[in-house]
Amino acid sequence: MFSLKVVDTDTFLDMSPSAQNLYFHLGMRADDDGFVASPKKIMVMVNASEDDMKVLIAKNFVIKMATNGVSVITHWHTNNLIRPDRYQETDYKEEKSRLEITGGKYTQSFGIPNVIPDGNQMAPQYRLGKVRLGKVTDMAADGFENLWVEYPIKVKKAKAKESWLKITPQDQALCLPAIKNQMAHFHFRGKDGVDYIPHLTTWLNQRRWEDQVEIKKNDVNVKNYG
């Protein structure tokens, strides 16, 4: 049911025990294509928080679809090999059609609204050949604007956008959930109780969406640096 290639990685083990536990329970209750019909019910059953689910989404262990809160286990086809005579296709065929299997994990096809537009989701991947290049550029610009609105330090927008366009669409998809998670857990807080938040250009150039986030409980003060 679960592959060490997934659950024995630093990325997985760096998550809180409650987030890891939620992942296992989601996997146990998924259908033969990895879709979970009622993730919120499972969260209640195992006493998991919304933050646990957000972490799973931000770290790309779970993809949140647009239909009735349905989610899918990203690495389902790495975790599971089901015999053809026992396989029963998911009821969520439309959602499945919006996904591709690459390297044993689901990825989202660009150009189709897969996820709920609440700012916490993984954005769809950009794939040339299915949409016009101009459309890809427009979508990348929209993604930057969403990140710019959310980012707490708004300076040097033009340079930040240049840095944004240099990273892959897959990495772009991780940025918005990552900064929300970082701000929610006071990731930039120093020992003096001040938040030292880098400019967005620096955050992008240093791939800060990959930072490991620890929970802190200090009051909010903000100081920014370039």
Dihedral-angle region of residue 76 (phi above 0 means left; psi in -120 to 50 means alpha; beta otherwise): alpha
Question: How do residues 87-100 score in pLDDT, each as one tens digit?
Answer: 678 888 877 787 87
pLDDT, the chain, mean: 78
Residue 221: partners with Cβ closer than 8 Å, 6 or more residues away:
193, 194, 195
pLDDT computed for residue 82 by the predictor: 60
What is the rounded average pLDDT of the residues 111-134?
41
With cut-offs at 50, 70 and 90, classify the pLDDT of residue 216: low
pLDDT computed for residue 105 by the predictor: 75
CATH (residue range 4-108): 1.10.10
Q: Are strands 195-198 and 222-225 parallel, antiparallel or unpaired?
A: parallel
Enclosing H/E stretch for 148: helix 133-150
Residue 82: partners with Cβ closer than 8 Å, 6 or more residues away:
32
And the tokens for 87? 């396989």
And the tokens for 154? 């708004």
Domain assignments of the chain as residue spans, ordered by start: 4-108, 133-225
What is the distance between the alpha carbons of residues 191 and 100, in angstroms, rounded to a whole number?
44
Nearest to 109 by CA among 118, 122, 120: 122
What is the distance between the alpha carbons of residues 47 and 42, in angstroms, rounded to a whole number?
8
Please report, in angstroms and rounded to a whole number, the separation of the first and last CA atoms in the chain: 46
Alpha-helical regions (H) of 151-222: 157-166, 169-184, 200-205
Higher local confidence (pLDDT), 30 or 69? 30
Question: Which residue bears the tokens 């967005």?
Answer: 200
**φ, ψ dihedrals at 155, nearest 5°:** -135, 150
pTM: 0.46
Rounded to 5°, the CA angle 58-206-138 comes to 65
What is the distance between the alpha carbons of residues 213 and 224, in angstroms, rounded to a whole number?
19
Bridge partners of residue 73, in order along the sequence? 62
Can you tell me whether residue 110 is helix, strand or coil?
Answer: coil
